[in-house]
Amino acid sequence: MPSQVVLVTGAATGIGNLTARALAAAGHTVFASMRDPFGRNLSRSRDLLEAALEQDFDLRVVELDVQSQRSVEDAVTCILDQSGRLDVVVHNAGHLMVGFAEAFTAEEIAHLMDVNVLGMQRVNRAVLPHLRSQGEGLLVYIGSTTSVVLPPFLAPYVASKAAFDALARTTAYEVGQFGIESTIVMPGPFTSGTEHFPKATRAGDEAVTAAYAALEPMVERNEEATAALFGDKTNADPAAVAEEVVRIVALPYGERPSRTVVDLTDAGVERVNEVSEGAQRSFLSRMGFAELLRSAAPSPHS
């Protein structure tokens, strides 16, 4: 696979940061995007740029706020101005909320949906015209096994990842007809190596939270309970997700899976996916839309 031009959203920390570094190390031109890279995220953007310089990687930083269509458009314009094309988009930006479902206001959940779901839509609206004109491209979505196993005390996050997954898959039907492939990568839980849990937002309604006080000990040990799912000898390193993205990008056209799972807790998500995708294939075939399940060949002009 020749070098690709890749945009990674949410690359300041965690899986996005690891993925940007891994793709650059694999020889790709990578634009690691984040909010305010020369202000609040200055140290993080500097770390990436210094790593690129030291290791001679083509790793660049671009400002991108998934909550702003203008910011997204400006970032994509910057990438195209510098590289002349864009081949791969890794949708990674996201946020976590922890607490009791009732204690989250509708506005809080709407904010999370704006980041985790509509942020992806804003990015797609900016990049898809260019991928369609090229007649090829790859959209990699960093989803979550939570949309299948439904862990407790994460209701807004679980709902957002389920919506993210559904929007990604149904978008894939359409863009695939223009030579654009899509893969949903579903990480299992990782309790270290990311800032997901430390930076998680708690529910804002303290009165309702207090009404659920009897359950608070469960919330407090949620991270510990998650960590206990790993075997004694399991190295639960989120770098495994970055490595899987690198593998997907390197696969030839037509061999990339529609989804892949990186789960070290043996949650059984692969088995659920197999049943779900079988039903999906059957349903679309009965509708006469089976061709939407596979991408068209890349444009000969790409």
Domain ranges of the chain: 5-293
172 pLDDT tier (thresholds 50, 70, 90): very high
CB count within 10 Å of CB 207 equals 7
pLDDT tens track for 94-128: 999 999 999 999 999 999 999 999 999 999 999 99
Predicted pLDDT of residue 109: 97
Please state, in angstroms and as integers, the Cα–Cα distance from residue 297 to each residue in 134, 151, 181, 182, 300, following that order: 12, 39, 10, 13, 9
CB-neighbour burial class of residue 282 (10 A; exposed 0-12, middle 13-18, buried 19+): exposed
Across the range 16-45, mean pLDDT stands at 95
Across the range 161-185, mean pLDDT stands at 98
pLDDT tens track for 13-26: 999 999 999 999 99
Report pTM.
Answer: 0.94
User: Three-state DSSP class for 99?
Assistant: strand
- Quick one: fold of 5-293? Rossmann fold (3.40.50)
CB count within 10 Å of CB 258 equals 18
pLDDT tens track for 208-252: 999 999 999 998 888 788 878 887 666 778 999 999 999 999 999
Percentage of residues in the chain having pLDDT higher than 90: 83
In whole angstroms, what separates CA 219 from the centre of its chain?
25
Mean pLDDT (the chain) is 93
pLDDT(7) > 80: yes
Predicted pLDDT of residue 198: 63
Asked if 141 is an active-site residue, the reply is: no
Predicted pLDDT of residue 60: 97
Q: Which of the following is catalytic: 141, 157, 173, 212?
A: 157
pLDDT(192) > 70: no
1 pLDDT tier (thresholds 50, 70, 90): low
pLDDT(194) > 80: no
Please state, in angstroms and as integers, the Cα–Cα distance from residue 255 to each residue in 77, 175, 240, 247, 248, following that order: 30, 17, 20, 11, 9
Characterize 43-67 residue by residue with b for buried, 16 or more Cβ atoms within 10 angstroms of its Cβ, and e for exposed. ebbeebbebbeeeebbbbbbbbbbe
